[in-house]
């Protein structure tokens, strides 16, 4: 089992930015945030909730604000590092120690802490994926009422597994063989991968 790294070790490993990371750490630790390690990086929490973290990369180091979308960003210091993929998180990026405006960093940290205290949080949206039923299975469901009834009682994830299983077959004969195999499984309310789930 991999030994958990400490904040000091993290900073030491990233020696090219160690002085600068220590400056950020000192600023953040002057607040009420609790210092910990998560995802092998220094992370700062309020009542167990992630507020921000610091990280070092090849060409830069940064502060990650977990709910940075709620920061006013009057100094225009934040940006979305992962474009459309990241909705809530924002990054404050630096290339050298001299890039750090200590007063601005402290103000942003305090605002992020207050936002967490107020419960401002952008929850991830789970997009419901629709199940696309391949024609072969669609036909079978149309002509077998029992099969259709049992298929509809399966969870969406199990329905999707069966649909993918048929759709991924390239030859018509393989599609038919797979369809013949899954019909009794569906009628017994068994998911395609249930035997592996119970291991």
Residue 87 maps to which CATH number?
3.90.1150.200
Distance CA 54, CA 90 (A): 12
Q: What is the DSSP letter of 100?
A: -
φ, ψ for residue 184, nearest 5 deg = -65, -30
Q: Is the pLDDT of residue 189 over 90?
A: no
Could you tell me if 103 and 143 lie in one domain?
Answer: no
Assigned domain for 37 exists: yes
DSSP run (H or E) holding 62: strand 61-65
User: Does residue 97 share a domain with residue 153?
Assistant: no
pLDDT confidence band for 81 (50 / 70 / 90) = confident
State the pTM of this model. 0.62
Provide the residue range defining the domain that includes 71. 7-117
pLDDT for 89 beyond 60: yes
Number of domains in the chain: 2
Whole-Å CA distances, 59 to 35, 91, 96, 126: 25, 15, 9, 34
In a domain, 123, yes or no: no
Question: 96-141 pLDDT, tens per residue?
Answer: 999 999 999 999 999 999 999 999 988 766 556 678 999 999 999 9
> Looking at the structure, do residues 104 and 14 belong to the same domain, yes or no?
yes
**Is 142 found in the same domain as 57?**
no
């Amino acid at each position: 089992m991999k030994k958990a790294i400490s904040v000091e070790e993290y900073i030491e490993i990233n020696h090219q930015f160690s002085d600068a990371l220590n400056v950020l750490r000192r600023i953040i630790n002057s607040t009420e945030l609790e210092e910990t390690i998560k995802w092998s990086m220094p992370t700062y929490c309020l009542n167990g909730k992630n507020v921000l973290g610091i990280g070092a990369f090849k060409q830069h180091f940064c502060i990650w604000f977990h709910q940075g979308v709620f920061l006013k960003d009057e100094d225009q210091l934040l940006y979305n590092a992962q474009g459309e993929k990241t909705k809530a998180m924002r990054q404050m990026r630096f290339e050298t120690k001299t890039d750090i405006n200590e007063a601005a960093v402290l103000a942003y940290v305090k605002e992020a802490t207050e936002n967490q205290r107020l419960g401002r949080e952008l929850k991830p949206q789970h997009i419901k994926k629709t199940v696309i039923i391949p024609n072969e299975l669609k036909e079978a469901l149309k002509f077998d009422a029992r099969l259709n009834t049992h298929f509809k009682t399966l969870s969406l994830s199990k329905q999707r597994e069966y649909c993918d299983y048929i759709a991924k077959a390239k030859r018509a004969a393989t599609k038919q063989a797979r369809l013949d195999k899954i019909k009794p499984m569906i009628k017994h309310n068994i998911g395609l991968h249930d035997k592996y789930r119970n291991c």
